[in-house]
Chain A
């Protein structure tokens, strides 16, 4: 069973000689990729097959083919094929072009070079990517792109690491560390010839974050393989000179390729509505055909047996009975009137949408200069949905806020350090913003130019670029500078980095470390340090090491400290016993983690620094310093900063500007905060963290385990061996709610009392922080005895090596460890609101949008942010739902529902009828009367806010309560869901979307918003600080939240109204034209004859009247952008689908029929009983119809630009030119109309012009009324 699910990879070199026939890897896909859909041969059938998936195409082909049946044909069969062939070939050419481009890029990629080990030459030779096979050994050099999924077997890095950049896969630009397979770690140089292990791993799958397997050595020893050992195709090797690996998955079986799925297809609401009307058109068509068929039958019948001369026999010479004739005629009429189903509608809509997307892309106001990014439309076919949104579900962090964490306050051991100076500094930043904003224009460009030169001189920079830059700082100028200075690291603007330490806490840190040094020097036990100092020390150690922050320096990306001994984290029991035997602990003069070596290390570090000063790097450095200088001066001038502020700064620069790359901004903020207290993280390796402390110098913590963060545990832990105490210590950092529950119950002794006091005080401060809108984190620690550790380790290792259920086992293992913690302190980190968020929310709300905020933050923080961004109003009454059980939740919901009804429904409106109506509008729950007018009023006037926490939300989302929950939530002006999990977010969206039948928009920036973004009708991703996952899943990607306003209110409105009007116009146009022919049936014995020449009939839609409506559909603005933004109420127009209501379709149809009557009967009466012939009479009618249709469009067009004039002029000119050429081209062709010289003759008749003037005006007269 297990064999079926695995792939076994042998090294290819073992099988080279046997010509590959026995190669066990031969069944695996090779590395040649082919993303093209077609080959030369298969293109036509395959493309046609795909196009016929669209029903309309089948319909039109069917009609065209119907023309080949002689009894029913209406047009020349070849001509009738023309429009279908035209449409199909346009699409085919587009597909072909796309496929060709794919082919080109495939070829390019397949012919990239890489180094593959060749057995015969006993060295690595260059091969094309496409020649690489599973089982090949491959050598990778720095900055190379991985050709396939490679198991890392060797790395030139002394720590046997390999860094990769995964930007092409997930868009995240922070470097990831990958590790050599454990069994190969100790090899100094890897020799492929000596390799004879077998790899057993999973079948190819698309999970980027999972890889499991074994490597089985000849000795029979098995070693686990994890995702940390796998380098994925498409990633780039960084900071590692050379790495060797064996290919596991190649070509289409690589995870990158398996993840590569096409664009998403969503169908917009408008399109759904349109399809209904297309269906109505079909019905109208059938009714018209049926009417004609019956008419024809009766017409035939009236002649009885006397055959009139004009009733031509069938080609076989047989007479047709009226009934058979009527049936044939029915089919003929379908052909003749086919234009009613607009063949070009679908193509036109696509063209218009592409143009709309283009214009949205081009909008300057949606362009963010700081990140050089603009709005991206990733889903091309739902632009008009933007104009019909009713509910917005927003993430908080990173969406409403900057997600740029600024360390504000902390409490250690129950003592609050308010960091007043820091607060003042932040205030000063804001002041500077306003001043700098004015000189942005000229001041902004200068540093940019410098940045280029610095990049050029900095050729040594290995990791030269990253897409992630820095923004969301207060001012543009500052942000620019920041992005230049720290192009390489995420989350580091000066505002985040420069923390002004609280003097009181600083003193304590100094005192603590000096004491520690003293004690270490005198080799005294550290226990003699007072507990509060000890806590302070541990607090900062925890801040520094309990994270996954990677250290780099801009000039030499990973400034690494060389080690004298290689060691890996404890992975086996034996290893543990070996390493933790007392002999080892006492003898360890040579131990990397011992403190005596730490000083050595610091000197080696200095060597590293001086080594760095190569000429080019030096110039870069000086440049950087020059850049920094003015800012310094500014700060001097403006701020009452304490003197040590500069010292910190100087210190930071001495340290070669270490930069921290963190997965989340909180972590970076805390690390920077710790650095401000001179507790700086200077190096992180998979098994060791180096911290530089005042007095103590560099301390290396042996990192035994990292228990990563997950949203269920809401915490992360590191297990380290403390270099000073040699104790195994667990540092945990996490959300206060969970940490507080895990704190060791206090004992009754004096220590316990102190603990209780700390706990109590900390909790108080936490509440205070939350009230200030700060994000709180608790820091705790736990010291493990060796026995405890050993027993835990046993289980943990089992979990780590398990192949099945590994994640769950690891999770349980983490839960086992994180108990009985000792609280150290808590931090408060501020996440500033993004620019313009309150204004945006206010105007979106005015636009009738319901805004729900779904956040993972704690309730108090969320409420505060909600107040800050005007989501909640101080005047509003807030209903808070916190329940511990299903029943409690049910009761709460019932109560609040009753409360709402009592307070808002009955009292202000004593009239019972009104009350019921009112209730009907807002509640769909069973206890209310059935909804009367449905969702006519999505905008609720209640001044109520609903706050619900994650746990209650889980109960409320239960099937039995969801109706009540919705009823309550709907009647509130704003809803705030705190502490919600990603799944809950998507459930809420789904619930609202399905139950209330409203259009939903979800906006978020992080991986936790992905499910919500996917569920909503329109998903918007903020291309923010937390990677690109949200953007990848979204339909639209915005650089900032406030752009949502213009996107929805202006572009959404325009897209919707343009498209709605265009679709209606299309229906009108076709109906109007087709009705002309229908009226004619009354005068030709319902014989399916048409006075409009078949050429005009077929190309009328496709050519003559196509362009003006495209121009109008793309460019028309019913209201100007300024007005739309000033009056958000106009947005409700789209919410209520006011541009395109079902009755409007019928209004348009009636209008079309009226106009066609005019256009038919004015020429009819003009030419009645004259010697006019069929097509000489039909041509003026066509012309009139064209004029009327264009004039109608002119009336519908709200803004006329030169484009409109040109397109209308072009259409008319095109018609006459085509008609004149067509009528002059061939005297004996184009049967049956044979329109030779018709148009020319008509143009010579005054009556033609007279008709052209009076008819359109008469037809459009009702439009003016």
Chain B
């Protein structure tokens, strides 16, 4: 019995029993001479020399500055109008509403404003809140996505995350959670005041203000095709702060219950404490007149939403948009700045290179 496997590692490979006739290839421990194993892979060594760095700077500069200018101009062409209707000022028409807020009776106020320039194309009407921390950790979590997705079980038994807005009087709250509970419920109406002083209401479209995927995939009413939402939500309670239950948000069945677009928009929690949310869209007319011509307007507010507790502000914003979104000159400025810095550095380095580079022949000036 040849027990040769034991301690085989001590043998060096030419085992007399194992080597075949004719001198089979001798196994040696010699490492393979491959580029990988010998660490000789072909490599590109980006050595920072004046020859590579200077053009890079110039190219970056030359590309960025035009982009920046383009962005800046685009942003500047966007028309935007903001109107604060919080009513913190004594002079504000909404002052009374803001002071004497209670949940039962509604308070109405009306603000007048004028647009200096006509708004062409579609105008987006936003409401803006400041100092509202929709991104608070516990707030963000306080929702039940499966309930909103139409899950029957979650409707009856909302997620624990919704606490303490999960149940009310032993009935599950639908929609549960703090986000839904704190939904923005001011009503804003816009009127154009004719040069002859007559108020004409402007038609506001509420369709299409939410993401398409939210409206059609993420948010669904429970009960499937059952169009009678009242029965579907029969055993649920409305959120504490709401005036009316979720199935009475709108008369339009396509915009009622969980798929109400105002609700969907609200549920998409804002990233920063000062934010705006799309409220309505003012569609462009077919004729040649601008969507919102120059002139006087009035904003009728049904003042429901209290912001005094957190010193918040409420705004109404009218804005046109471009391919890059709303009015924001920052990106353009950023591009111009970075581009200029690069260009400037390129010039400085070129100067240094010309002055000193040739003398000591050190090309590594940019390390």
- Where the two chains meet, the residues of A that have a C-beta atom closer than 8 Å to any C-beta of B are 70, 74, 108-109, 112-113, 143-145, 167-168, 171, 234, 236, 303, 306-317, 332, 359, 361-364, 367, 369, 372-374, 448-449, 451-453, 455-456, 458-459, 461, 464-465, 467, 469, 1083-1085, 1087-1091, 1115, 1117, 1121, 1162, 1164-1174, 1176-1178, 1198-1203, 1227-1229, 1231-1232, 1234, 1236-1237, 1241, 1245-1247, 1250-1251, 1254, 1257-1258, 1261, 1264-1265
Contact = CB atoms under 8 A, between A and B. Distances in A.
Interface string B309-347: 110100000000001111010110011001001100100
B211 A373 contact: no
B276 A1171 contact: yes
B42 A1201 contact: yes
Contacts of B342: 1257, 1261
B142 A1083 contact: no
B71 interface: yes
B137 A74 contact: yes
Contact of A309 (B1, B44, B241, B334): B241
A1200 B42 CA distance: 8
A1173 B268 contact: yes
A1087 B345 contact: no
B143 interface: yes
A997 to B, nearest CB: 32
Contacts of B338: 1254, 1257-1258, 1261
Given A109-B6, A1199-B44, A364 B241 contact: no
B67 interface: yes
The 8 closest A-B pairs by CB, nearest first: A308-B310, A1228-B149, A1177-B271, A315-B163, A1199-B43, A309-B182, A317-B164, A1089-B137
Chain B interface main SS type: loop
Given A367-B29, A455-B14, A1254-B331, A1117 B143 contact: no
Given A310-B134, A1087-B138, A1089-B140, A1250 B366 contact: no
Contact of B12 (A315, A369, A465, A1165): A465
Interface size class of B (residues with CB under 8 A): 35 or more
A1172 B278 CA distance: 10
Nearest to A1194: B46
Contacts of B326: 1170-1171
Contact of A1170 (B151, B161, B181, B275): B275
A1170 B328 contact: yes
A1172 B331 contact: no
A1250 B71 contact: yes
10 contacts: A109-B6, A308-B132, A310-B182, A362-B31, A362-B37, A364-B30, A459-B16, A1168-B272, A1227-B218, A1228-B149
Contact of B341 (A314, A1090, A1261): A1261
Contacts of B334: 1162, 1165-1166, 1254, 1258
A152 to B, nearest CB: 19
Contacts of A1089: 135-137, 140
A316 B160 CA distance: 11
A1251 B268 contact: no
A312 B142 contact: yes
B10 A167 contact: yes
Interface in B282-299: none
B331 A467 contact: no
B145 A309 contact: no
B271 A1178 contact: yes
A1246 B271 contact: no
A1236 B217 contact: yes
Given A1091-B135, A1200-B43, 5 more contacts: A109-B6, A1172-B270, A1172-B275, A1227-B149, A1228-B151
A1236 B218 contact: yes
A1164 B41 contact: no
A1169 B317 CA distance: 11
Among A144, A317, A1264, the most chain B Cβ lie within 10 Å of the Cβ of A1264
Contact of B140 (A145, A361, A1174, A1237): A1174
A1166 B182 contact: no
Contacts, number: 288
A1115 B269 contact: no
Given A1089-B136, A1115-B39, A1231-B159, A313 B164 contact: yes
A452 B21 CA distance: 9
B32 A448 contact: no
B273 A1084 contact: yes
B161 A1232 contact: yes
Contacts of B24: 452
B271 A1088 contact: no
Interface in B50-95: 53, 57, 60, 64, 67, 71
Contacts of A308: 132-133, 309-310, 312
A1232 B143 contact: yes
A310 B310 contact: yes
B126 interface: yes
A452 B26 contact: yes
A1165 B21 contact: no
Contacts of B71: 1250
A1229 B145 contact: yes
B165 to A, nearest CB: 8
Interface in B103-145: 126, 128, 132-145
Contact of B271 (A469, A1091, A1199): A1091
A1168 B1 contact: no
B274 interface: yes
A1166 B133 contact: no
B148 A1228 contact: yes
A816 B286 CA distance: 125
A1264 B277 CA distance: 41
A1171 B275 contact: yes
Contact of B31 (A364, A1121, A1264): A364
B221 to A, nearest CB: 13
A234 B38 contact: no
Contacts of B217: 1227, 1236-1237
A1174 B271 contact: yes
A1254 B336 CA distance: 10
A1184 B148 CA distance: 32
A1165 B330 contact: yes
A40 B287 CA distance: 81
Contacts of A1168: 272, 274, 328, 330
A1166 B324 CA distance: 11
B44 A113 contact: no
A374 B21 CA distance: 28
B132 A1241 contact: no
B58 to A, nearest CB: 13
A1090 B16 CA distance: 68
B325 A1170 contact: yes
A409 to B, nearest CB: 36
B100 interface: no
Contacts of A109: 6
Contacts of A309: 178, 181-182, 241, 309-310
B278 A1264 contact: no
Nearest to B131: A308
Contacts of A449: 23
A1167 B16 contact: no
A465 B31 CA distance: 22
A1200 B268 contact: no
A82 to B, nearest CB: 19
Contacts of A332: 137
B11 interface: yes
B3 interface: yes
B270 A1174 contact: yes
A1169 B6 contact: no
Most buried by A among B37, B39, B165: B39
Given A303-B309, A1168-B274, A1250-B331, A363 B38 contact: yes
B107 to A, nearest CB: 18
Interface string B202-213: 000000000101
Contacts of B1: 113, 144
